[in-house]
Amino acid sequence: MPLLSKILPLPRLISGLRVRIRPFLPGQVPRSDIVFALRTTAASFIALYIALALHLEEPQWAMMTVFIVAQPFAGMTLAKGLFRVVGTVAGAVATVAIGALLGAVPALMLSALVVWIALCTFVSGLLRAPVAYGAVLSGYTALLIALPAVAHPSLIREIADARCIEILVGIVCAGLTSRLVLPQRVRPVLLRRLRTCLRDLAGYAATILDGGSVPDTLYRQLVEDSQALAGLRTYARIEAPAKTDYREVRRALGELLSALSAARMLHDHVRPGTDGLDALLRQASAVLRRIATASPDDPIPDTPDPDIARALGQAASAVIAREAALHGGSEQRLHEAAVLAVLSELLDAVGRAQLAYAALVADQPRTGEPGRSARTRAGFAVHRDVPSAARNAVRAAVSTAVLAAAWVLTNWPEGIATVVIVAAVTGLFATLPNPIPSARAFMRGTLWAVVPAFICGQLLLPVLLPHGAAWLVPVMAPALLPAALGMAQPRISLASTAFAIFYVALIGPHASAPLMPLEFAGGAAAALLGQALSILVFRFVLPPSGRRSIRQLTRAMRDGVATLCTTSTPPARLVFESQAYDRVAQLLPHLPDTQLAAATTLRGSLALLRLGLEVLQLRDPRLLEGLPAATRRRVEGVLAGLAILLGRRDDAGHPERLAEAARSTALAIAGTDASPTLIRAAASLRLIAAVLQDHRGFLSPAVRP
């Protein structure tokens, strides 16, 4: 028995199986997931029968498309479907053009297709979902259409028309069912997450003002949540473009980012009990704590809590009054001015975020905010990683070219599928921080599909299909329903999607008969080989590197702040701040929580963000106009020095010297009779000096991993 237990460890196997099937047990599955599974499976069969009724050549493409674009929320399904249509049409048009120009010379035609794949992959790397999906899709769609017709270019137009119609049938079925049959809307999820983010941010800031310890993991979570909200905003706009003015979402997110930046700066520089600001800190903390302790189960209000709004206003007024009462140019006074400026920014941003959230809930967009018009008109900006996109393009081009050449030389009938799968996987997963685990999960789902597809397609359907195409539903649905249910669960969604797609592809359902055994074996081998080769491509062809990504992102942040110091037309704050947080969000997957170097990199990147915000404050035309000419020249000298420091690629920078220059300039311009404008400029210089001093090790040398 001990030997048997070692060979066949039943208890461990049973325990692992129980863990895997627990999400599917009765009572464990959310009603929304069941609705999604039933709706998606039904839509796939509707698409299949429509394709059969239209006598399309490959009806399984209509069915597969439903599983490819299906998402738990209607807006996500519509977005993915829309850009799949755009990508498919773009790929078909490109293929027809390439075939018309180069179809007579197969080698040139294949070369043009490789260039097209590289171009689409490059563009996809510069974009964000769901637009990026359409770009990469247009690349491998061209292969899907062109490769079967390399020897007969005259068939390209016919194949392109068929693929477009089949895919369009699937998209229409998926989109209509997701929108009309018990739809799950993005908007309620967006509102709940926005409310949760507001509450978590208020709690984070209140803990800081109370002098409590706040781990970096909480800040990381807030950054990730803000980026997820920006993505949901895109889907909500597609889901209901006329329902709500989603500029309010942008306003709320912009204010959340501002509050997050201010809270982080206070985390580094507020020391309750030593700054002489304890009364103000307690007052601000108390009102933030009230926001943080609001129950997430309370009904979503359509107006801000008047008591909280009043308390926020009182705290902000107290800060403004304290700022106005500051006199003298001592170091302590400048420190107080800096803290008060950031605290005022925090309270102002939280209050405006609440107003934007309430307007969004009430579906009554606010109008007429002249003081913030430039900021609210500004859009979000994202980081365009050109070197990474170029590497993705080279990787896709090399792998596609090598496999296409191998297919031509071997003339393997199923080699087309292998080439297309490699192009698709290397394009779709290329932008992930570590694409290999995702590619493995996708391959695992494909492997799971082989045996059920063989039983269904080779044993059951040949017997039952002669009695009518209606048998497709009872034979195929028992495997597709659990797969659709798994697609709604993030932990196994990728593998479940792969299972559904390749289960249908391997069966190849038609009205008459499925694939023959040899065709089935060839299709399964091609699918698995293509995905295995994709994993090898990611590992050996310009493999993704976390260390390289960290260097590039931190370098981009340094260059971004340096540009702010010298450009004649600095961007709106929301443009800079949203792009900086996008870069921070891309850094996070490469920074483990437990490593000291990772913590240093994260804090240094956030310090660069704060430097940029203070530079923007000093570059504000309204502030510059209020400064005397001599003072303006000193400020510009500090900014020029900061640009030189951040632009260096060597170890010769001296942030301590620049910090001392910024501090002495602040002391010089904040005299006993300094105006509020001078005090604010001095506070920004004081904050720049503090950041340079606190993060001199990160800011001085050339960026290292």
Contact of 588 with 546, CB cutoff 8 Å: no
Name the least confident of 55-69, 238-252, 492-506: 238-252
Assess contact for 117 and 396: CB atoms under 8 A: yes
Q: Tell me the C-alpha distance between 548 and 556, whole Å.
A: 12
pLDDT at 152 over 80: yes
| Per-residue pLDDT tens digits for 417-436 | 899 899 889 888 988 888 99
Confidence of residue 1 (pLDDT cuts 50, 70, 90): very low
Give the rounded distance of the alpha carbon of 5 from its chain centre: 46
pLDDT score recorded for residue 83: 92
Query: pLDDT value at position 411?
Result: 82
pLDDT band at residue 15 under the 50/70/90 scheme:
low
Cα angle value 416/417/420 (rounded, 5°): 85
Residue type at 294 in one-letter notation:
A
Rounded Cα–Cα distance for residues 549 and 433 (Å)? 9
Structure tokens at 156: 């390209």
The Cα diameter of the chain in Å comes to 96
Distance CA 633, CA 612 (A): 19
Which residues 6+ apart lie within 8 Å of 531 measured at CB?
A: 421, 425, 439, 442, 443, 446
Rounded percentage of the chain residues whose pLDDT exceeds 90: 31
User: What's the mean pLDDT when you consider all of the chain?
Assistant: 83
Q: Among 63-67, 543-547, 600-604, 677-681, which is the least confidently predicted range?
A: 677-681
Cα distance between residue 43 and residue 62, in whole Å: 10
Alpha-carbon span 158 to 485, nearest angstrom: 36
- CA distances in angstroms from 569 to 557, 558, 566, 595, listed in the order given: 18, 18, 9, 39
Domains and CATH numbers, the chain: 31-183+384-540 (no CATH), 186-239+245-364 (1.20.58.220), 546-699 (no CATH)
Amino acid, single-letter form, for residue 656: E
- Is residue 288 within 8 Å of 206, Cβ to Cβ? yes
Average pLDDT over residues 511-537: 85
Which residue pairs, CB below 8 angstroms and at least 24 apart, start in 269-273? 269/335, 269/338, 269/339, 269/342, 269/687, 269/690, 270/208, 270/209, 270/211, 270/339, 271/211, 272/209, 272/210, 272/211, 273/211
Q: From CA 201, how far away is CA 352, in angstroms rounded? A: 14
Q: What is the pTM of this model?
A: 0.88
Q: Which residue has the tokens 């709106």?
A: 572
* pLDDT at residue 254 in the model: 85
Q: What is the pLDDT of residue 365?
A: 57
Least confident of 1-15, 276-290, 446-460, 496-510: 1-15
Q: Residue 375: its pLDDT value, please?
A: 46
Helix, strand, coil fractions of the chain, as percent rounded to 5: 80, 0, 20
Helices and strands counted in the chain (H then E): 30, 0
Distance between CA atoms of residues 456 and 476, nearest Å? 7
pLDDT score for 370: 43
C-alpha 24: how far from chain center: 28
Mean predicted confidence (pLDDT) in 654-670: 84
Mean pLDDT of the region 391-409: 91
- pLDDT classification of 122: cutoffs 50, 70, 90: very high
pLDDT: is 433 or 206 the higher one? 206
What does the pLDDT read at residue 18? 54
pLDDT category of residue 242 using cuts at 50, 70 and 90 = low
Helices 573-587 and 247-269: angle between axes, nearest 10 degrees: 70
Residue of higher predicted confidence among 261 and 2:
261
On the CB side of 367, CA atoms within 13 Å amount to: 2
* Confidence tier at 446 by pLDDT (50, 70, 90): very high
Cα separation of 547 and 187, whole Å? Answer: 37
Residue 271, burial from CB neighbour count under 10 angstroms (0-12, 13-18, 19+): exposed
Q: Which residue has the higher pLDDT, 303 or 149?
A: 149
The confidence score (pLDDT) of residue 564 equals 92
Mind listing the pLDDT tens digit for each residue in 324-383? 666 656 677 777 888 888 888 888 988 888 888 888 877 665 554 544 444 444 567 889
Residue among 453, 445, 454, 452 at smallest CA distance from 425: 445
Give the integer Cα–Cα distance in Å for 617 and 565: 11
**Which residue do the tokens 């297709």 mark?**
113
Residue 3 pLDDT grade (very low, low, confident, very high; cuts 50, 70, 90) = very low
Greater pLDDT, 269 or 409: 409
Question: Which pLDDT value is given to residue 232?
Answer: 84
d(CA 359, CA 485): 35
| Pair 488, 494: CB distance under 8 Å | no
CB atoms within 10 A of CB 426: 29
Q: What are the start-end ranges of the H helices in 508-593?
A: 517-540, 546-566, 573-587
Cβ partners under 8 Å of residue 269, min gap 6? 335, 338, 339, 342, 687, 690
Helix, strand, or coil (residue 508) = coil
Looking at residue 373, its pLDDT comes to: 42
- Give pLDDT tens digits for 25-45: 555 678 889 999 999 999 999
Output 374 or 216, whichever has higher pLDDT. 216
Position 177 pLDDT exceeds 90:
yes
